[in-house]
Amino acid sequence: MSTAAPDPKANMGQPAPRYDAVAKVTGRATYGADQKLPRPAYAWLVTSAIAKGRINGFDLADANHVRGVIEIITHENAEKLKTAKLFSDGGYASTTIQPLTSPTISHDGEILAVVLAETLEAAREAAYRVKVDTTAETPTASFDSPGAATEAAKGKSAQFTEDPKVGDFAKAFEQAAVKISADYETPTQHHNAIELFATSCVWNGDMLTIYEPSQFVYGLKNGVAEQLGIEPDKVRVISPYIGGAFGSKASMNARTAIIASIARRLGRAVKLVVPRDQGFTTATYRAETRHSVSLAASQDGRLTALRHEGWEVTSRPDNYLVGGTTTTTRLYACPNIESKVSIVHADRNTPGFMRSPPEVPYLFALESAMDELAVALKIDPVELRRINDTMVEPIDGKSYTSRSLMACFDEAAAAFGWAKRNPQPKSMSDGDWLIGYGCAATCYPTMMAPAAARVRLHRDGAVRVEIAGHEIGTGAYTVIAQAAARRLGVPLERVSVEMGDSNLPPAPVAGGSNSTASTCSAVAMVCDQIRERLLKATMPADSLVDKAKSTVGLGQTPTEQAAKSDRPIDIEAAFDRLGVNVIEEFGEWKPDGAPLDSFRAMYKGQTRMVGGEKVKAGIAYAFGAEFVELRVNKYTGEIRVPRMVGAFAAGHIMNPRTARSQLLGGLIWGLSSALHEATEIDERTARYVNDNLADYLIPVNADVPSVDVILLSEQDDKINPLGIKGVGELGNVGTNAAVCNALYHATGQRIRKLPVRLEKIE
Ligand code: MOS
């Protein structure tokens, strides 16, 4: 695997090294739990050992005997916090299940008590000595458990109002020359970011400061204020670095307001670091899904009918759902499409966003089914995608703003050596190993959201950018600095960026791969405002109007070309003329088609995301193609994946180095979802069994020998001023299908239930 930063191609920025690299490798980067607090009380959670039932009472005598215990909070003495509304219903929270409000237990590992002590060790020791007397009822664990309540997803969430449909699927399927139907299944997965969930709260008078790794500091600030019944202005959230999140730190967890309330009650700082096992139940996860897919085609491979039905598990009270049919019904040309999504309520904690939430499970089903159809048609799977490639999505007839799916397939196929593949299953081997080649498409909607930024340019050329964006490990500091440097024509080293603080101008949730497009668009726009002031100051009055119009970007006009054609600005002269040492500009940017209340919502910590099939210019997606070589030992069934190749096109690439890193990580996570990851649930007790990194399998270096990432040049002037599509979640979509397709090619065995493990090989 080559580790060099790729050379930029057309429409790509420089592969600048990470802005935060030195701070991270030298330990200077301060994560949530690193914050030094004045005399903190340490909190430890007591969580439920049953998934359904009620608390009869607590025996705290033993716990209170531990030296250093300050107080134990249960539903009997906790402050009654206001119930939080779900993120997808216009609220801030990842769950409406609010612990410490009643004796009812709704899921495994629910918070039943919080122990406060002078030391971490005392808090933990006392927590283990808390005795909870409960009455258990039989819980519903998952799809097949008694009490599972299935209902149509349509209309249950603001994000999913319609099951996409066009033409007459039933008739077309019946009449089709070639058809396949199959059922697929994906397991429960937990994010397992290396940085644990942590919350520290400090009150200064009526001002609350929260140190917590967060993908959305404005959301958390407003959400906690609402739960505590205080003004949002009284809350500040600080989160400059995040050690992995993947969606798990995007919406507010119940623990934050609880810790804030306890800190207020004790009149001192409180610090909580949630251990890994408790993170499985007090935060969110990717719920298990089921799929039924039917595809039909004419003999020449043109799709004539497509049906995708999905089922997703959620908690008893909440309607969290991902609804991936929005994407799978629009990926290929097809005149007759039907789809349906159902949610299945069980006695579980509420699931939530996990990297490419809809696409990972739903494209597993569709891209596996496409491979099955290719086999039935005796057509090369790459060619099947080509035959059904389209610039117009079939549901609403919208045009893709750009689409390089087949270019990705062709580049990746060439780099992989797809031409060497003998299409016959079980036809390729090397000693004891059967060899299979498989491929799949990936796609991810282009998302954008309103963002604000403040930029200061100093006389000496130093630039300061302030924006409440989030560095979740993706390279956000770096690309934002690049956007400012390029726009202002200053060297990258002169730019400093401040992020992850709710006192800064608001940025959207770092989710849906929208951050680069949103924050860089806002920063570029504000830099243009500075350029405009400088230009005005240095230009003779008569040329001012024309010059400003023709070369300086205003609002949403693409100004890359303006930036290039402009004469260099003499900053010293401009500052002299203006009689200042610093120029500061502030601006609010929103994507085309953002609703009228977007800016107001932005300050309230609500993201009005515009993306995918809802962009003004048509339908906007990034695309890619992934190829996998898989080997299965003929005798032991051992599975190895010696190499993966992915080619991706995502509009303007701000930084090929950080983009490659995102896609590389994505491919590896995709491999993980195919071969390793699953949270095991005890069907009888509705409890997670492998809630630790010893038993929750993820790939190690030996599992990932060679991964190649190819970045394609793609220009899209329709989506946003910089033409950015986002790459954060593109890499791990489809990989699971590519692995299973390769497994079929190697062995002739089709595995439709993830993860694929040795015991499933016949
Ligand atoms: Mo992501 S799952 O949109 O953080």
> What does each C-alpha distance from 248 to 286, 343, 713 come to in angstroms?
9, 20, 32
Query: What pLDDT was estimated at residue 571?
Result: 81
User: What span, in angstroms and rounded, lies between the C-alpha atoms of 43 and 115?
Assistant: 5
User: What span, in angstroms and rounded, lies between the C-alpha atoms of 14 and 6?
Assistant: 9
pLDDT bucket at 2, cuts 50 / 70 / 90: low
Which pair of tokens denotes residue 57?
């009472």
User: What span, in angstroms and rounded, lies between the C-alpha atoms of 362 and 325?
Assistant: 7
Look up the CATH number of domain 32-139+193-282.
3.30.365.10
Query: What pLDDT was estimated at residue 562?
Result: 44
Positive/negative CA dihedral, 361, 648, 443, 482: positive
How many CA atoms within 13 Å lie on the side-chain side of 256?
Answer: 34
Give tens-digit pLDDT for 335-361.
999 999 999 999 999 999 999 999 999
Say if residue 666's pLDDT is above 50.
yes
Distance from Cα 5 to the centre of ligand 1, integer Å? 25
Please say whether the beta carbons of 122 and 63 come within 8 A: no
Please say whether the beta carbons of 648 and 411 come within 8 A: no
Share of the chain above pLDDT 70, in %: 96
What is the layout of strands, in order, in the sheet containing 235-238? 69-74, 111-117, 41-47, 270-273, 198-204, 207-211, 235-238
682 contacts: CB under 8 Å, gap ≥ 6: 141, 688, 689
What is the atom index within ligand 1 of the atom nearest the CA of 356? 2
Separation of CA 215 from chain center: 10
User: What span, in angstroms and rounded, lies between the C-alpha atoms of 760 and 749?
Assistant: 10
What is the atom index within ligand 1 of the atom nearest the CA of 357? 2
Give tens-digit pLDDT for 533-589.
998 888 765 444 444 433 333 223 334 444 444 556 778 888 999 999 999 999 999
Say if residue 334's pLDDT is above 50.
yes
Q: For the chain, where do the domains classified as CATH 3.30.365.10 start and end?
A: 32-139+193-282, 397-446+612-757, 449-607
Q: Is the peptide bond before 425 cis (omega within 30 degrees of 0)?
A: no
Give the SS3 label for residue 638.
Answer: coil
Give tens-digit pLDDT for 11-40.
999 999 999 999 999 999 999 999 999 999
Please say whether the beta carbons of 316 and 210 come within 8 A: no
Give tens-digit pLDDT for 60-77.
999 999 999 999 999 999
Q: Whose CA is nearest to atom 4 of ligand 1?
A: 247
User: What span, in angstroms and rounded, lies between the C-alpha atoms of 534 and 708?
Assistant: 44
- Pocket residues for ligand 1 (CB within 6 Å)? 215, 246-247, 250, 353-355, 357, 511-512
Please say whether the beta carbons of 471 and 504 come within 8 A: no
Distance from Cα 658 to the centre of ligand 1, integer Å? 17
Which of 87, 88, 216, 353 to probe ligand 1 with, by most ligand atoms within 8 A of CB?
353
Say if residue 709's pLDDT is above 80.
yes
Give tens-digit pLDDT for 372-412.
999 999 999 999 999 999 999 999 999 999 999 999 999 99
Query: What pLDDT was estimated at residue 540?
Result: 60
Say if residue 600's pLDDT is above 60.
yes
Distance from Cα 352 to the centre of ligand 1, integer Å? 9
Distance from Cα 604 to the centre of ligand 1, integer Å? 20
> What does each C-alpha distance from 441 to 365, 603, 637, 656, 668 come to in angstroms?
12, 37, 27, 21, 16
Please say whether the beta carbons of 554 and 531 come within 8 A: no
Say if residue 261's pLDDT is above 50.
yes
Give tens-digit pLDDT for 626-663.
999 999 999 999 999 999 999 999 999 999 999 999 99
What is the atom index within ligand 1 of the atom nearest the CA of 511? 3
Give tens-digit pLDDT for 459-497.
999 999 999 999 999 999 999 999 999 999 999 999 999
Give the CA radius of gyration of the chain.
Answer: 27
Share of the chain above pLDDT 90, in %: 93
Residue 672: DSSP 8-state: H
Query: What pLDDT was estimated at residue 268?
Result: 98
Give tens-digit pLDDT for 683-704.
999 999 999 999 999 999 999 9
Positions annotated as catalytic residues are: 729
User: What span, in angstroms and rounded, lies between the C-alpha atoms of 210 and 218?
Assistant: 12
Whether this model's ipTM surpasses 0.90 comes out as yes
Kindly report the average pLDDT of the chain as a whole number: 95
Say if residue 173's pLDDT is above 80.
yes
Give tens-digit pLDDT for 176-201.
999 999 999 999 999 999 999 999 99
Which of 88, 191, 242, 246 to probe ligand 1 with, by most ligand atoms within 8 A of CB?
246
Please say whether the beta carbons of 498 and 464 come within 8 A: yes
pLDDT bucket at 705, cuts 50 / 70 / 90: confident
Class for the domain spanning 397-446+612-757: alpha beta
Which of 355, 444, 471 to probe ligand 1 with, by most ligand atoms within 8 A of CB?
355
142 contacts: CB under 8 Å, gap ≥ 6: 148, 188, 288, 313, 344, 346, 348, 681, 683, 686
Strand partners, 497: 465
CATH topology of domain 449-607: Aldehyde Oxidoreductase; domain 4 (3.30.365)
β-strands 41-47, 270-273: how paired?
A: parallel
Query: What pLDDT was estimated at residue 567?
Result: 58
5 contacts: CB under 8 Å, gap ≥ 6: 15, 17, 656, 657, 660
756 C-beta neighbours (distance < 10 Å), count: 21
